[in-house]
Structure 1
Amino acid sequence: MIEFSLNGKIAKANDGDTILDVAKREGVDIPHLCFKEGLACAGNCRACVVEIEGERTLAPSCCRQVQPGMVVHSNNERAEKAQRMVLELLSANMPEQAHRPDSELDHYSRAVGLQGSRFERREQPASDTSHPAITVNMDACIQCTRCVRACREEQGNAVIGLAWRGDHAQIVFDMSDPLAESTCVACGECVQACPTGALMSTSWVKAGVPQQTHAVDSLCPFCGVGCQVTYHVKEDRIVRVEGRDGPANDSRLCVKGRYGFDYVHHPERLTQPLVRREDAPKQAHRDWTAQSAMAQFRPATWDEVLEKIGQQFKGILAKHGNQSLAGFGSAKCSNEEAYLFQKLVRTGFGNHHVDHCTRLCHASSVAALLEGLGSGAVSNPVKDAMKAEVIVVIGANPTVNHPVGATWMKNAVADGAKLIVMDPRQSDLTRIATHHIQFKPDTDVALLNAMLNVIVSENLVDHAFVARRTEGYDAFIKNLTPFTPEAMAPVCGIDADTIRQIARMYATSKASIIFWGMGVSQHIHGTDNARCLIALALLTGQIGRPGTGLHPLRGQNNVQGASDAGLIPMMFPDYQKVSDAKAKAFFEEYWNCELSDKPGLTVVEIMKAIEDKQIRGMYIMGENPAMSDPDAEHARESLASLDFLLVQDIFMTETAALADIVLPASAFAEKTGSFTNTDRTVQMARAALPLPGDARQDLWIIQQVAKAIGLNWKAQTVAEVFDEMRMCMPEIRGITWERLEREDAVTYPCTFEGDTGHPVVFTETFPTPSGKGKLVPASLVHADELPDEDYPIVLMTGRQLEHWHTGSMTRRSAVLDALEPVPVVQMHPEDLNKLGVKAGDVVEMASRRGAIQAYARQDAAVQPGTVFMAFCYAEGAINKLTNPALDPFGKIPELKFCAVRISASKAEALLNP
């Protein structure tokens, strides 16, 4: 510790602390405007100057480090006079009415007794209101450059700069473009960094910039990163959202997290139970809109619908047996809701036909991880990219699907890490990548096995690690013999020398980490793809240490937690197999019931079972399979043919439109519960809003449905359900509800109370019977459906930055829908020219299963002969085209590859439902 004098008192500092760091800790309030925690010091506003005895000039306290014996004055006449002068000069050009009531400049001006400025106000530029999310008020800009540094250093986007010199200096976007015409991705980091209101959220401006708001700490409801947020609420409406200093985001957010909150206030929210009218038969093929779907239902009371639900489910069970009902839960719901839902299906329906969207995301990844490592969880948090020398991103587009997670990768590259992006498409990360490996779609195994061949043939194997911690080595390397880089180069489209370079780079670094997404998992060979990635880590010893490991990026906000809680057909909570006699006996005693030992059907298998009249009734909570399932027309036909369909949701979704009864549920901001992010961190979400109308909490609804079919559960409150859940899940047993309320976030495994949790796992052993990781060979398997003369183009699907999943929430957000309002198919310029269409034209795309229309968007990021489209648009429901063929191990459909044809459409525009 270093001792020095601060305003006449002895203060202690750590080596490297600045004067301002210590002042903040000591409660000494020194004005500061250009300084912000987490950003590099600029020292350009000079509001924080202090006097250091023995020095002729005043020093900026934000960037002056403490020295032993230093005597510092921040509150003597000389320092205060300088601080006051700086604040008065900065205030000179401010508008008479501050743009935001919490302006830091106004705060410090009041603190030093300033009332206005004696200096003449210069003419200021007009506000830029071109962007739907952010309003630019340059009349309030003090050129502190916090926005510049936030955009560059934190988000890694480099959109904002300081242009020109001297008196003409000005903050600009790109080449001094209007914000809406710039490359801004609307993350809002600049807004959160701005101290004066020069940059503000438009939603806050439209709300009248309320002086007083009620702050509620919670989580972002989008994607698996699990960003912590603070909701600012006025009169039961969210008016703005700020990032909180959570373990996954360090206060950062993306466009969805910051501006996608207003869906909860949308006029289409369901606010009362609905029963299908007797004169409104289900129609799977009709043109769908939320308004037309609502007309098929009549309002009802909760007593009426719960009585009908009990009668219908019990009647189907009595008539068709305990294999006749199934349930789809949701990765958007809390751990407690997921736990109760799977418990209802298993104990009330009498089977294991329960699944959720993980079957469309990472089921193949989990199958390979359980097989190879004994655990389906990630080994290291996303932030460990900052500790890696080499980062591999394959089959993922983090800047779109996990934007805040991507910032850590960008930051790591800025700090010197090497980035290898392996993907058939270009992404935003490719501009900073050391290597972009743009291999041919469907050739993952060829490329990865070639890399493994190099590692073995060039003796880059960590033999000590392999001998101590793996099994199956001899059979594995024998399988690699034909996969030389020269043999695989024409298959995957990457030259042999490049394959060798990236294999060496990954194997020889001190710490290499692999991130992957659904570009790896959503294939019929998805499990084989993941097996190869696991083998890369095991052969080279790149696992079990900070900065190494395997991380399948989770798509929805609680995919990890819902799977942990048992919302999958072959596993009880905590991945205990339903076929395991010991696990079955435990849960029979724990739940006081008899259970089947036969694994249930998966999402796609249930749709087929409905067609075969094996499944007669369903309970769907928060899922939208009519949009998310492959071959969506078949899924809709199956759902429409059910004897009884119960849907629980917040909007009249495409799936709810096919229901017999629809129950109005709670939106994310209206519930309290725990959620588990992609890092295995269990976090607390808190209700910020009351429920609208006669809507009810999802937890309460599940409990009432359980009661209606004859179940008698003890746990009622969310805390009681969490406690029941953790006591049957060893990995989270040490996390109490009280601890979660107090700490907000705990990473599992956390097996006993007081356990700190373990962000990095597999450090000594793997949770397999032998304690060793298993090397599993993978062979070349081609996609189920290859292009031909009739369908010559490869279709890949996924998400886009501004929308999430099936769009039921984000397309009801004003800002997000304004940014991306219509369905677009991304096509290479060569393909557009071949078709004789131009960007913005409507095209028709057809597969062997259906056809849709969308607007053509020119995009050189896709390879010629391939197209990409997001699946969030009801008016261009791309999953009508996709292939339901399944990976034999993970039972995941091949959403990332199917054959289509594209032609010019006669339509000039598409209707938005």
Structure 2
Amino acid sequence: MTNSIQEIADADFILTTGTNTTEGHPVIGIQVKKALRKGATLAVVDPRKTEIAGLANYHLRINSGSDIALLNGLANVIIAEGLWNKEFVTERTEDFEALRETVAKYTPDYVSEITGVPAETIKEVARGYAKAKNATILYTMGLTQHICGTHNVFAVANLTMLCGQIGKESSGVNPLRGQNNVQGACDMGALPAFFPAYQPVALEANRTKFSSAWGVDELPSKPGLTVGEIIDEAGKSVKAIYIMGENPVLSDPDANHAAHNLESLDFLVVQDIFLTETAQLADVVLPAASFAEKDGTFSNTERRVQRVRKAVEPPGEAKPDWEIICMVSNALGYPMNYGSASEIMEEIAKVTPSYGGINYARLEQGSLQWPCPTPEHPGTKFLHAGKFGRGLGKFHPVEYIPPNEMPDEEYPLILSTGRRRYHYHTGTMTQRTGALEVFYPTEYLEINCIDAAKLGIAEGDKVKVTSRRGEVELAAKITEIVMPGMVFTSFQYPDVPINKLTNAARDPISKIPEYKVCAVKVEKAS
């Protein structure tokens, strides 16, 4: 997030897109509700009538995958009506004319044809966002899990810069992370093209810096594979995989393909706190300690680094992840000997500029938000104050393209997937609580009453959902939450492995799969 969670409560205008905030991120949902109580305007972009959509002043119920058209349409209105922040655009951005030229054809009427959102609603939302003193945009994977997910984010950034709604409090571009330390993992270099703190491996100066810090002669200059690419190459160019805290047998798209490729490996290692569906395929399972059984830090969605303190001993042979990694590294011949998690944080501060001023002594006094470059620095509440990291903010004009797989005669419905409030990711932890799985025991398929009537499906009927990649059976829930032509369910239930159906087509830049749109057919299960 460019801004902090608590700032949301003081925003005058909140635009959420591709995020079921009150269910997927209930803590942040509280801040949205606070803002509404103070008189803020809320516009929700989502094909589903979610809980947060029910709170909104405007629910822009777009056709799945038409985000760029809508965002360009908002920019079109703002430019056509002279509402953009001319001072900000002139002093702090470049390539505005390219954006103006691209969005010129995205008139409200044209965008309405693509998105299904009324032209007048597009105009009203554009005016509200542009005229607000402080407007913030929140988004999650409903925006990014498309073949044009990166361009979707460009379109969001274009809108914020166009209106000068960035670099100040209660504004900005705010992706809400889906797991508790995704931000921290990325910060530490768990990305194929970067060393820690997003320092590119392609730059020789970075390779020299880390070669020296890590005591090795040479580090590769070529980026590695993404998670999806690794799975694709499993059993081919990739002969062995080491998986930590991930469950691709349930979470990857076209999950049958993922499981088949993992089974084709010469060697699979899984390090986890439970014997997941993926761990059951492993040659070796390394038992890891849970968050309550180790010392460390988590970096959350607002860039906040927080201490985690060991409360209980790990069971059996389980150990903290860093200890297991050190043991494996030493066995492989590279000495890696740390005495504590605190020592590792000291090394992080030396090689990671944005974490340069963060250490355990300071974190004992309270959490810190990066960038925090020096021991005296208080941390950074919001980013891009005064100027952008690259200097001028660059507009990236983008064009609408439809999803990779659209409905047809054989597969006439769109399937989208997401999360439920009561469970977490693939249910590895929340299906073992003795409470949550009792309170919310089974998954269901949301289907509109019009489609259900056509198909002869009644509430609670067992239905078979089929795509070009597989089939899954589950109960039907007839509802107006989804529009006609769309069905929805979560990926969080092992007994409803919905990712057997989803499309592995990827964004060519981020390599994120298009989980949010795939063509399916639904019929009563025999």
TM-score w.r.t. length of structure 2: 0.98
Which of the numbers 492, 513, 522 marks the counterpart of 1:893?
Answer: 513
User: CA shift at 1:714, angstroms?
Assistant: 3.7
- CA deviation digits over 1:402-438, x for unaligned, max 9? 0011001011101111111111111111222111111
1:858 is matched with which residue? Answer: 478
* Paired AA for residue 819 in structure 1: F
Q: Does 1:816 find its partner at 2:436?
A: yes
RMSD of aligned Cα (Å):
1.0
1:524-535 equivalence runs, <5 A: 524-535=147-158
> By how many angstroms is 1:608 displaced?
1.5
- The reply on whether 1:879 has 2:502 as its aligned counterpart is no
Alpha-carbon distance in 2 for matches of 1:730, 1:699: 22
Equivalent residues in 2 for 1:271-420, closer than 5 Å = 378-420=1-43
Residues 153-193 of structure 1 show CA distances to partners (whole Å, capped at 9, x for unaligned) of xxxxxxxxxxxxxxxxxxxxxxxxxxxxxxxxxxxxxxxxx
Contact 2:326 2:337 (8 Å CA) reproduced: no
Q: Deviations over 1:409-468 (max 9, x none)?
A: 011101111111111111111222111111111111111111101111111111110111
Confirm or deny that 1:565 pairs with 2:185: no
Equivalence for 1:785: 405
Give me the whole-angstrom Cα distance separating, in 2, the residues matched to 1:709 and 1:583. 25
Equivalence map 1:259-278=2 (5 Å)? none
Quote how far apart the aligned CAs of 1:838 are: 1.4
Task: Output the CA distance in 1 between the equivalents of 2:146 and 2:54.
Answer: 27
2:329 corresponds to which letter in structure 1?
A
Equivalence for 1:579:
202
Residues 748, 758 of structure 1: 8 Å contact kept: yes
Describe the SS at the equivalent of 2:495.
helix
- Tell me, yes or no, if the aligned pair for 2:250 and 2:494 is still in contact at 8 Å: yes
1:842 aligns with 2:462: yes
Aligned equivalents of 1:510, 1:473: Cα separation in 2: 22
Deviation at 1:554, TM superposition (A): 0.4
Name which of 721, 730, 735 aligns with 2:344: 721
**Matched residue, 2:165:** 542
Matching of residue 662 in structure 1 with residue 285 in structure 2: yes
The letter for the 2-side match of 1:703 is C
Q: For 2:95 and 2:400, how far apart are their aligned partners in 1?
A: 19
Cα deviations by residue, 1:671-697 (Å, 9 ceiling, x for unpaired): 111001111110011122211122222
**Separation of aligned partners in 2, 1:585 and 1:898:** 44
Q: Deviations over 1:788-815 (max 9, x none)?
A: 0111110101110000101110011111
Return the offset for 1:589. 1.1
Amino acid across the alignment from 2:232: K
Q: Secondary structure at the match of 1:738?
A: helix
Distance (whole Å) between structure 2 residues aligned to residue 898 and residue 619 of structure 1: 30
> Which AA in structure 2 matches 1:823?
E
* Distance in 1 of aligned mates of 2:53 and 2:500: 31
Q: Which residue of 199, 222, 229 corresponds with 1:605? A: 229
Q: Is the 8 A contact 2:5 2:302 kept in 1?
A: yes
> C-alpha separation between the residues in 1 aligned to 2:43 and 2:307?
34
Q: CA deviation at 1:651?
A: 1.2
CA deviation map 1:42-96 (0-9, x unaligned): xxxxxxxxxxxxxxxxxxxxxxxxxxxxxxxxxxxxxxxxxxxxxxxxxxxxxxx
Counterpart in 1 of 2:396? 776
Q: How does 1:498-517 map to 2 (within 5 A)?
A: 498-517=121-140
Decide whether the 8 Å contact of 1:681 with 1:748 is kept in 2.
yes
Alignment match, 1:617: 240
Structure 2: runs of 5 or more not aligned: none
Cα distance between partner residues in 2 of 1:486 and 1:872: 38
In structure 2, what is the Cα distance between the partners aligned to 1:781 and 1:711?
47
Question: Paired residue for 2:332, among 691, 709, 714?
Answer: 709
Kept in 1, the 8 Å contact 2:44–2:60? The answer is: yes
How far 1:716 sits from its partner (Å)?
A: 3.2
2: CA distance, partners of 1:772 / 1:792: 46
Does residue 799 (structure 1) correspond to residue 433 (structure 2)? The answer is: no
Per-residue deviation at 1:782? 1.1
Judge conservation of contact 1:630–1:895 (CA < 8 Å) in 2: yes
**1:379-410 deviations in Å (ceiling 9; x for gaps):** 10122111111011111001111001100101
Q: Judge which range, 497-506 or 732-741, deviates more.
A: 732-741
Alignment of 1:432 onto 2:55? yes
Shift of 1:637: 0.6
Question: 1:869 corresponds to which residue?
Answer: 489
Give the corresponding residue for 1:762: 384
Structure 1 unaligned segments of length 5 or more: list them: 1-377, 907-913
Kindly indicate whether residue 312 of structure 2 is the aligned counterpart of residue 689 of structure 1: yes
Residue 752 (structure 1) aligned to one of 374, 377, 381: 374
Tell me if 1:522 matches 2:145: yes
Q: Is contact 2:472–2:497 with CA below 8 Å preserved after alignment?
A: yes
Deviations 1:570-601 (A, max 9, x none): 11100011111111111111111111100000
Give 1:595's aligned residue. Answer: 219
Structure 2 residue identity aligned to 1:635: A
The code of the aligned residue for 2:219 comes to L
Name the aligned partner's letter for residue 529 of structure 1.
Answer: N
Q: Distance in 2 between matches of 1:798 and 1:439?
A: 16
Query: Does structure 1 conserve the Cα–Cα contact (< 8 Å) formed by 2:329 and 2:335?
Result: yes
CA distance in structure 2 between the aligned counterparts of 1:858 and 1:759, rounded to whole angstroms: 44
Q: Does the CA-based 8 Å contact 1:427-1:861 persist in structure 2?
A: yes
User: 8 Å contact 1:715–1:724 — kept in the other structure?
Assistant: no
Given residue 845 of structure 1, which amino acid in structure 2 is its aligned partner?
V
Corresponding residue for residue 829 of structure 1? 449
Does the CA-based 8 Å contact 1:382-1:551 persist in structure 2?
A: no
1:178 maps to none
Structure 1 position 742, deviation (Å): 2.7
Tell me the percent identity.
43
Task: Decide whether the 8 Å contact of 1:806 with 1:872 is kept in 2.
Answer: yes
- Render the CA deviation track for 1:276-319: whole Å, top value 9, x for unaligned: xxxxxxxxxxxxxxxxxxxxxxxxxxxxxxxxxxxxxxxxxxxx
Greater length-normalized contact order (CA 8 Å, ≥ 6 residues apart): 2
